Amino acid sequence: MKIPVLLPNIFDNPFTYETDINLSIGDYVLVPFGKSKMVGVVWDYFEKPINKKFLLKKISKKLEIEPLNTKTIKFLNWFSGYNLVPKGMSLKLHILSNEEFENFKDKEYEGFYKLNKKVKFDLTEEQKKVFKELSSKTNNFRVHLLQGVTGSGKTVVYFNSIKQKIDIGYQGLILLPEIGLTSEFEKKFIEYFGFNPAIWHSGITKKKKKIIWNGLSSGKIKVVIGARSALFLPFKKLGIIIVDEEHDQSYKQDEGVIYNARDMAISRAYFENIPINLVTAVPSIETYENIIKKKYSYSKLVNRYKNAQLPRHEIIDLKKYKISNKNWISSETIKKVESHLQNGDQILFFLNRRGYSPFVLCKNCLKIYSCPNCSINLVYHKKKNNLLCHYCGYRTQLKRKCEEKEICEFTFGGPGVEKISDEVKKLFPKYKSLIFSSDTMNKKSSSKDLKKIVDNEIQILIGTQLISKGFHFPNLNCIVVVDIDLSSQGYDLRGVEKNLQLYHQLSGRAGRTGRPAVVYFQTYNLNKEIISQITNKDPFIFLDKELNLRKKNNLPPYERFVSLILSSQNEKKLENEALNLKNLLLKKIDGRILGPVSAPIYKIKNRFRMRILIRSKKNSRVQKSLSSVLKEFKFISGIKLTVDVDPINFN
């Protein structure tokens, strides 16, 4: 009997094997491939027939685990076509590794269903009303947005929705945008449900991954809290998906297999025919457009829990209150912060830049430290005393021979959080401070640091955007945005939308327990409209304006963008190949072909980069046409192509 088996590799079709074993679609099998053996899945169609006759290899054995259900197979097939990814690479997101799967004893799963003491969460009248809306029409696929001001208790509302599903035998999936959020979130989950969720992200051990994978496949695990990759796990009976902070750009996987986990979660819910809830304070522009079109339903929580007030906003004019040389905190800001510290408030200085300084210049030879592998400046990290490229990871020491004198004499341009931290320590020496960024909060000590912040043992935080993502600090009542003008920089048509989301989330960290709170914006730009639109209590007002602007200019979500990034170590070959590809696209694609142009960051990891942008109608299947073009076009050796459907940045 001939059987199609899809393998987790770069091929787009299943391979045909022979077997006497009784197999069905979705069965996991071990098969010979080349000189080794691989785990594959019995797929739903055969590879394309070819005239040559080959001696078919035999399937080694069937693995004794729950088969992959046909709904997930359909989802993976669709995922491949939409994102222009080989089907085998889609399967690779689902299969852990090229090893036989293990079955584990029940004791490995005790914590996932053993009840601990639960904390009773009483819903407010507003929360009860919204929960009722979330619970209606949940027997089939539907997308519902839960939008609410930060601190309004959105999490507890959707916990009720999950409980409703698991009480009748279903499993739940909660997607979070950042690994750093999972430990705090896990505690809240256990308090509410009384049992452990499975935590899934790249940082968990290999054995733990196998236990979770099998526990979901067998139905022994009820709920998974995870990052993007949790979307591809083998649920036995998935009943509900939650995408928390649905607007967050971290849901976009931008290396390897490129996809948007929020959009793919909606598609998986569609194939599973189950409800999905998107949760946020400020929805993405795509989600908002679907609400306007009535494709998605939505609910609003307009009040903070226990009627805590949102912080008020003040602008500190840096033209009036000048900053002293080499400093970044104005005299007026210092006065405001001192007043808050005397009242026992916690302070956050916000600047979305890691390290000490984004560029380093020699005063004598005027040479800037730049990365030898990428066309970008090196960032100085004072704590590690080295210069680092945030793209390729290249590191070097600060010491350098000068072209004018013996050794370079350095000046540091622009601030990073480490520079602000040094300034804070000089200005407020009596108070403990901590840098809150991905450099400091992904370590084993971060849970201890979080406890110290909650207990107000650390009075001053200096943070990047990581701090805006779902943390609850009860004493944080003063936020200083060090320089709001810096946040508007970058190659991004979504820049204004991102700022709206970022500053709403950031403001939401303050005043959560009812005490008066203030967000101070240091700025040279006194355009109050910019500040008011990113701090308006009702973000839908801004989103309406932004949608009209996008519609007028035929920008997403009104057009489909597909970005093609070609890279090579040979600059000349790259330019020629990009032009050849464009010429073929012009003949075959129904849409506008823009470029090729040099990417804004022209070189990364010693590879030059050029971009082509395809703009097409939203309803056209540009991916299908593009797929056939890319199969026809034979790239010369050394050229790498990356396809990004629905890009969110243009670096």
Chain segment 183-209, per-residue pLDDT in tens = 778 888 999 999 999 999 888 888 899
Identify the bridge partners of residue 386 per DSSP, sorted by sequence position.
381
pLDDT at 449: 86
Q: Domains, the chain, ranges and CATH?
A: 2-69 (3.40.1440.60), 106-305 (3.40.50.300), 307-547 (3.40.50.300), 559-645 (3.30.70.600)
Q: How far apart are CA 472 and CA 41, in angstroms?
A: 43
Q: How far is CA 470 from the centre of its chain?
A: 14
Joined together, the tokens standing for residue 103 give 């079955």
Q: How far apart are CA 151 and CA 143, in angstroms?
A: 23
Q: Is 426 exposed, middle or buried (0-12, 13-18, 19+ CB in 10 A)?
A: exposed
User: Apex CA 583: angle with CA 578 and CA 586, to 5°?
Assistant: 120
pLDDT at 620: 67
pLDDT at 414: 87
pLDDT at 258: 96
User: Apex CA 75: angle with CA 70 and CA 81, to 5°?
Assistant: 130
Q: How many CB atoms lie within 10 A of CB 489?
A: 8
pLDDT at 253: 93
Q: What are phi and psi of 299, to 5 degrees?
A: -130, 155
Q: How far apart are CA 201 and CA 157, in angstroms?
A: 24
Q: What are phi and psi of 497, to 5 degrees?
A: -60, -45
Beta carbons of 284 and 247 less than 8 angstroms apart: yes
Q: How far apart are CA 380 and CA 413, in angstroms?
A: 10
Q: What is the pTM of this model?
A: 0.92
Ranges in the chain, pLDDT < 50: 489-490
pLDDT at 100: 65
Nearest Cα to Cα of residue 537 among 557, 507, 564, 517: 507
Q: H or E stretch including 595? A: strand 592-604
The helix/strand count (H/E) of the chain reads as 16, 29
Q: How far apart are CA 142 and CA 297, in angstroms?
A: 8
Sign of the four-CA dihedral 507, 508, 513, 514 = positive
Q: How far is CA 318 from the centre of its chain?
A: 34
Q: How far apart are CA 83 and CA 646, in angstroms?
A: 9
